[in-house]
Copies of this chain bind each other. A is one copy, B any other.
Amino acid sequence: MARNPRDSQVIHEFLGSVQVFSSAVKNVVEKEILKAVVGDDLTLSQFNLLKMVALTDARTISDVALFLAVSKAAASKAADKLVRRSLLRRVEGKPDRREIRLELTESSRRLLARYDEQRERQLGIIFRSHPAAVLRRTAYLLDHLSAGLVNQSARREEVCLQCGVYFRDRCLVRQLTRRDCFYMNRRSRQKRAARAAETVETAAAGRKKS
């Protein structure tokens, strides 16, 4: 069972490179652009809430919380701050008045557009020199590794991989682990058909933008 120490070293460095890249995307690209676009009075996680509302069909506090992998309490508080800054509107749920629908405002829509444009541009420059085939192959490898990790987990059913704004309708990890993620579980259990029709079109619209 004991592996070659050489292999162990390779794995360690591989994990290091992933960690560093992941940190670079978050801290260099995302935080810097955010700062340039809105200044200092918006947290990255507050901003991510806006992105969720814009890009996915998560519209209620519960949905957003699931998607962002934070508690409902946290999502509720974050939404509150965004409402205060007029970047979000709370609207009473249509069929069910318990749930709160979140809607972007004109100002947050503009903000998101400027952010997306910058992000797209910066990433484009970096990735330009790397052929799409290489990127696809790498993503494929990573998905297989992720699936392996999840399958080893004692509580594989409960794990949330925090794909967040990277949520995919067709997710290789989901296929390989033959399970639904937390979010999908909730959705399929709970969503009423009444809502399904509407969300499909908004999701499609959101995806076209990206």
Contacts and interface: CB of A to CB of B under 8 A. Distances in A.
A25 B210 contact: no
Q: Is the interface of A mostly helix, strand, loop or mixed?
A: helix
Interface string A88-129: 000000000000000000000000000000001111111110
Q: Which 3 residue pairs across A and B have the least CB separation, nearest first?
A: A16-B166, A17-B139, A126-B148
Interface in A1-30: 1, 3, 6-25, 27-29
A191 to B, nearest CB: 23
A161 to B, nearest CB: 5
A27 B181 CA distance: 14
B19 A164 contact: yes
A11 B135 contact: yes
Contacts of A145: 21, 24, 126-127, 130
A10 B168 CA distance: 12
Contacts of A1: 121, 124
A162 to B, nearest CB: 4
Contacts of A146: 17, 20-21, 24
Given A1-B124, A20-B142, A142-B18, A149 B8 contact: no
Contacts of A8: 120, 124, 210
A154 interface: yes
A24 B150 contact: yes
B138 A141 contact: yes
